[in-house]
Amino acid sequence: MIDQTKILAFAVFELRVLLAGHLGNEASSEPRVRAAAHLAYALHNHALDALDGKSFDVADAMSAIARVDEVFGENFTQQLVEATNRAA
- DSSP string for 27-53: --S-HHHHHHHHHHHHHHHHHHHHHTT
- The confidence band for 24, taking pLDDT boundaries of 50, 70 and 90, is confident
pLDDT at residue 25, as a whole number:
79
pTM: 0.90
The lowest-confidence range among 26-30, 43-47, 75-79 is: 26-30
Number of domains in the chain: 1
**What range defines the domain where residue 53 resides?**
4-87
- Determine the straight-line distance between the first and last CA of the chain, rounded to whole angstroms: 27
Tell me if 68 sits within 8 A of 74, measured CB to CB: yes
Chain-centre distance for alpha carbon 28: 21
pLDDT at residue 37, as a whole number:
96
Q: What DSSP assignment string belongs to 54-87?
A: ----HHHHHHHHHHHHHHHT--HHHHHHHHHHHH
- Would you say residue 36 has pLDDT above 90? yes
